[in-house]
Amino acid sequence: MWEKIADVLLDTLLDCVKLLPFLLAAYLLIEWLEHRAGDRFGAFLKRSGRLGPLIGGLLGLVPQCGFSVVCANFYAGGLVSMGTVIAVMLATSDEALPLLLTEGIGNGMQIAEILLLLATKLVIGVAAGFAVDAVIGAYRRRKALKTAPDAAKSEEEHEAHVHAHTERECEGREHEEYSEHGHNHNTLCEHCGCEEQHGFVRGILLPALKHVGSIMLFIFAVTLALNAVVEFIGEDSLKSLLGGSALLQPVIAAIFGFIPNCAASVVITELYISGGLGFGAAVAGLCTGAGTGLLMLFRANRSIRQNLTIMGIMFAVASLSGIILQLITA
């Protein structure tokens, strides 16, 4: 009993330690962009935003779930599109690649088969990401066209209101800023400590560490609970759950892959290596197996509707792709 508890705690700590560098790097970058390069980075995203799903899909191939965590943070901050975060999540395989390269090759698996699996996930992720961004873009353009006449009228009324308000504000400001002696008493940032607050340590490092600390506590609690479930239920029971009908395997694997823990990708990969899971089911399960990325998405992004939409799209794409591949490779 105590050994199991110790194993759960150790596994949870290791999972969190693996994420720590990615989280710290992500929040340092976010804080730096906000304080130092917000306008320039915004312009860069506008120029390269359409390539987001392709770039995200390629980054998602990197082992571990670090880039899915980073992308979830960027999406919550409005820095990347929904298509980009979906591409990253679908392309991410968490612990699958290291297992395929070690245990897989040790059991006779060819490099070509591993590359085919990764390439399939990449194509699925990038295609789904571009499709989602295209649909959202078309919807926004259509909505903008419908509201254009009303928006133009409202803009004219707004400009007239702002003009009148500005005149009154300027008159009041002249009275406030200048005393009867003609001196300006509203000098900006003079001896107020703004330079210290916007320095690297207080302006970037400390806020980043604060974000990382609060999020790591959340991830630790959830991961601890999930590891406890996996430990006490047993991986054998989880494997038997996945070993059902060939056509149902992709759907079950896609649901199983949503477990925000590396155990999902480990179980799916080991079943695939041993022949207990078909190629399509492995692709489906690993497409939804974004590790802690989904957990971070729900922690960082306040819109539950958006988060559930992303999960729904991922499940539909993974399941459908898995069933098609299962039929082709049967």
Q: Is residue 187 part of a domain?
A: no
Angle, alpha carbons 167-171-175 (nearest 5°): 165
pLDDT at site 191 = 36
Q: If you search the block for the tokens 């940032």, which residue do you land on?
A: 189
What residues make up the domain containing 312?
2-141+197-329
pLDDT digits (tens, 9 = 90+) for 103-149: 788 878 899 999 999 999 999 999 999 999 999 999 888 888 877 66
Tell me, yes or no, whether 23 lies in a domain.
yes
| List of residues 6+ apart from 97 with CB closer than 8 A | 61, 63, 114, 118
Residues of the chain with pLDDT > 90, as a percent, come to 23
The answer to whether 244 and 276 are in contact (CB under 8 A) is no
The letter for the amino acid at 57 is G
**Is the pLDDT confidence value at 158 over 60?**
no
282 within some domain: yes
Rounded to whole angstroms, the Cα distance separating 177 from 185 reads 6
Domain presence at residue 234: yes
Burial tier of 277 (Cβ tally within 10 Å: 0-12, 13-18, 19+): buried
Q: Domain count for the chain, please give it.
A: 1
Token representation of residue 260? 């925000």
Whether 54 maps to a domain, the answer reads: yes
SS3 label, residue 248: coil
- Whether 191 is in a domain gets the answer no
The runs of H, that is alpha helices, within 234-303 are 235-242, 249-257, 262-274, 279-288, 293-300
Instruction: Tell me the average pLDDT of the chain.
Output: 75
What pLDDT is attached to residue 103? 75
d(CA 70, CA 166): 42
In this predicted structure, what is the pLDDT of residue 313?
Answer: 97
Are 39 and 258 in contact by the 8 Å Cβ rule? The answer is no
Model pLDDT for residues 163-198, shown as the tens digit of each residue? 444 444 444 434 443 333 333 333 333 333 333 445
At CB < 8 A and 24+ separation, what contacts does 100-107 make?
A: 100/269, 100/273, 103/269, 103/270, 103/273, 104/269, 104/273, 107/273, 107/274
pLDDT at 219: 64
Contacts of 99 (CB under 8 A, 6+ apart): 266, 269, 270, 273
| pLDDT tens digits along 191-246 | 333 334 456 777 678 877 876 776 677 667 766 776 776 666 665 665 666 655 66
What pTM, to 2 d.p., does this model score? 0.66
Overall residue count recorded for the chain in this entry: 330
Whole-angstrom distance, CA of residue 80 vs CA of residue 51: 10
Residue at 157 is within a domain:
no
Quick check: is 18 in a domain?
Answer: yes
